[in-house]
Structure 1
Amino acid sequence: MKTLGIDLAADPKRTAAAVIEWHKGQARLVHLSLGVTDETVVELFRDSDVTGIDCPLGWPEPFLSFLLGHSREDPDAVLCHDGLAGRRELAYRATDRFVTHQAGLIPLSVSADRLAHPAMRCAVIQAKIARACGVQPRDGTGHLVEVYPAASLKIWGISARGYKGRGRPESEVRDNILGQLTAAAPWLDFDAYRDQVIASDDLLDSVIASLTARATALQTTLLPAPDQSLAAREEGWIHLPTRPLTDLNN
């Protein structure tokens, strides 16, 4: 099995990809790259069994209705989101609220924060994947799943506070994270790329995304409840691991 992790940015220069190959209780990082184009994402997706992407696969359904109502000059469709509570419905998806409840983390808003541009690119990539390989459900029941590396690390008990950035302190945190990964997953071989991962939080996120993709392949992530399934299909669903990192090599 091959799992692909993508840390998606609006600019290909900051987009990272990691492929892990799994075989007989062992796992090896066989591909790691930064500066990943749409075409490379599609190519790597085609060659992998499951792809975990760190980017929203959709927008809040109320946000889309709000924009449509505004476009059509429909006051009722807009005014039903008047006030702070109404705007929260526009900013956060069902899966974002679920992640906050489960992991205590607040994902960035796809409609009101820095994720807007990456999400636009992600929508285009999903369309390119659909043309090349078939439509992938946004709830993760196909070969494309939405992941949240920071939440995966927290659930796996890996201390990762302050790993984002390009300075020496952040690099030292990433070095410590890799040490924790080695201790928890001695079957994972990433030595050939260790220095690169320490140097880049984007590359580290792509590796964690690939590991989380493995959890989805093993069906060990939290799925939407029946009353969340429709929203998950329309808005996307962040897959959170339910088992320890040590179980991924089963």
Structure 2
Amino acid sequence: MRTLGVDLAAAARKTAVAVLEWDAGTARLVHLALDVDDREIVELFGSSSMTGIDCPVGWPDAFLPFLAGHLNLDARSVLEHDGIEGRRLLAYRDTDRFVTGHTGLIPLSVSADRLAHPAMRCAVIQAKIAAEHGPQARDGSGRLAEVYPAASLKVWGLLARGYKGRGAPEAERLGVILEHLAAAAPWLDLAGSEDRLAASDDLFDAVIASLTARAAAVGQTLHPPETHAAAALTEGWIHVPSGQLAGLTRA
């Protein structure tokens, strides 16, 4: 099995990918790249069993009707979201609330935060994948799963905060996380890329996304409960690991 992890940015710059090859109780990093364009992502998707992408694959179900109501001067549909609680339904998806309840982490809003631009690119990439490899269900039941590296790290008992950035404290924390990852997953061969990973949180997140893609592929992530299943198909679903790192090689 080959798993692809994508840490998606709004443009090719700072977009990172990592491909892991799984065999006989081991995983080896066989491809690691930064500043990756759409074409490479689509090609790598085609040669991978499962892809984990660190970016929302959809928007809240309430968001588009709200925008349509505003466009069409339909005051009733707009006023349904008056007040902070109404606006939360526009900002956060079912899966965002589920992840917060399960991990305590609050995903960024796809419609009201810094993820909006990357999510637009993600929608285009999904269309390109569909054109070449067939449509992929947004709930992760196909070969594409939305992932959240911070949630994966927390479930796996690794430091999940404070490592993003270019400063010395962030770099030091990232180095510590890499050491802990090596101890928790001695079966993971990073193929001499430790220095590159320690210098780039984008590349590191791509590796975590690839590990989470493996968890999704072997049934070791939390799937949408029945009450969230319909929304997961339209809004997307974040696949959070349901087990520990060691289980990824035993599947």
TM-score (norm 2): 0.98
1:53-202 to structure 2, matched below 5 A, reads: 53-202=53-202
Deviations 1:199-244 (A, max 9, x none): 0000000000000000001101101111100100000000000110
Identity of aligned residues (%): 64
Distance in 2 of aligned mates of 1:142 and 1:76? 37
Distance in 2 of aligned mates of 1:191 and 1:168? 25
Deviation at 1:166, TM superposition (A): 1.1
Q: Say which structure is richer in helix.
A: 1
Q: Give the gaps of 5 or more residues in structure 1.
A: none
Q: Are the aligned partners of 1:92 and 1:110 in contact in 2 as well (CA < 8 Å)? A: yes
Distance in 2 of aligned mates of 1:160 and 1:166? 16
SS of 1:67's partner is helix
1:4-19 to structure 2, matched below 5 A, reads: 4-19=4-19
Distance in 2 of aligned mates of 1:127 and 1:56? 14
SS of 2:163's partner is coil
SS of 1:3's partner is strand
Q: Are the aligned partners of 1:2 and 1:20 in contact in 2 as well (CA < 8 Å)? A: yes
Question: Which deviates more, 1-10 or 64-73?
Answer: 64-73
Q: Does 1:209 align with 2:209?
A: yes
Distance in 1 of aligned mates of 2:42 and 2:88? 33
Q: Are the aligned partners of 1:185 and 1:246 in contact in 2 as well (CA < 8 Å)? A: yes
Amino acid at match of 2:114: R
Deviation at 1:160, TM superposition (A): 3.4
Q: Are the aligned partners of 1:50 and 1:144 in contact in 2 as well (CA < 8 Å)? A: yes
TM-score (norm 1): 0.99
The CA RMSD measured in Å over matched residues stands at: 0.7
Distance in 2 of aligned mates of 1:24 and 1:72? 58
Deviation at 1:161, TM superposition (A): 2.7
Deviation at 1:69, TM superposition (A): 1.2
Amino acid at match of 2:29: L
Deviation at 1:191, TM superposition (A): 3.9
SS of 1:14's partner is coil
Q: Are the aligned partners of 2:151 and 2:160 in contact in 1 as well (CA < 8 Å)? A: no
